[in-house]
Chain A
Amino acid sequence: AQTVTQSQPEMSVQEAETVTLSCTYDTSESDYYLFWYKQPPSRQMILVIRQEAYKQQNATENRFSVNFQKAAKSFSLKISDSQLGDAAMYFCAYTSMNRDDKIIFGKGTRLHILP
């Protein structure tokens, strides 16, 4: 069965600095998607970034980028120039292209931004 592991329950970063959130996953499949979701305090969960496994190029969205290492089954999220609004719970997620439609989420990393 597929699993997603986020080894850092909480992290802190100084405003304007860069932080990297770790995620590893386990799968025997070759075609899949990976996601990072953000859940700000008392607000709805939203998608931050998506990566297709068949693409070697790492996805980027403004200050957010990923380091996708397929062989190592690693999918870390880098946030550059951290802002107070980045404070949130971040979830890494996996879904297979070839199976049923559910997404498997990690347990989350709570990110604190220090002013």
Chain B
Amino acid sequence: DVKVTQSSRYLVKRTGEKVFLECVQDMDHENMFWYRQDPGLGLRLIYFSYDVKMKEKGDIPEGYSVSREKKERFSLILESASTNQTSMYLCASSLNSHYEQYFGPGTRLTVT
């Protein structure tokens, strides 16, 4: 079975802190994605990557950056966390766009 893991289920950070969210997949998938999920807004794509060291902006990239140094790992970085970044963050991977995305369990981030 494909497994997508995220470094933390729950995270509490202070305003202004640098935050790293890690995502690892074990199925050699080319594509990896970061979403944030907020009530009433569904899933919004932050960044995605279709190859190592490649990244593409999604719909809401402001305030975030990403890193993909290895194929299996895709990191989301909040350079200076703000309270409006309090959310559920979901990582996903897929072989390509014709196939399903496999999701991690999510990280609920609270910025105080």
- Nearest A residue to B106 via CB reads A44
Task: State whether A101 touches B97 (Cβ < 8 A).
Answer: yes
- Identify which of B31, B41, B42 contacts A101 (C-beta below 8 A): B31
Task: State whether A95 touches B97 (Cβ < 8 A).
Answer: yes
Task: State whether A101 touches B48 (Cβ < 8 A).
Answer: yes
Number of A-B contacts (CB under 8 A): 49
- Nearest A residue to B33 via CB reads A102
How many A residues, CB 8 Å from partner?
21
- Nearest A residue to B6 via CB reads A44
- Nearest B residue to A104 via CB reads B45
Task: State whether A102 touches B48 (Cβ < 8 A).
Answer: yes
Residues from chain A with a CB closer than 8 A to the CB of B96 are 101
Q: Is B25 an interface residue (CB 8 A)?
A: no
Residues from chain A with a CB closer than 8 A to the CB of B90 are 45
- Identify which of A33, A97, A102 contacts B58 (C-beta below 8 A): A102
- The secondary structure that dominates the A interface is loop
Q: Is B56 an interface residue (CB 8 A)?
A: yes
Q: Is B43 an interface residue (CB 8 A)?
A: yes
In the bound assembly, the distance between CA atoms of A95 and B96 in angstroms comes to 10
Q: Is A84 an interface residue (CB 8 A)?
A: no
Q: Is A100 an interface residue (CB 8 A)?
A: yes
- Identify which of B31, B41, B97, B106 contacts A96 (C-beta below 8 A): B97
Give B residues with C-beta under 8 Å from A. Answer: 31, 33, 40-43, 45, 48, 50, 56, 58, 90, 92, 94, 96-98, 100-101, 103-106
What are 28 A-B residue pairs whose CB atoms fall within 8 Å in the complex?
A33-B97, A33-B98, A44-B105, A44-B106, A45-B92, A47-B100, A47-B101, A50-B100, A91-B42, A91-B43, A95-B98, A96-B97, A97-B97, A100-B97, A101-B31, A101-B48, A101-B50, A101-B94, A101-B96, A102-B33, A102-B48, A102-B56, A103-B101, A105-B42, A105-B43, A106-B42, A107-B40, A107-B41
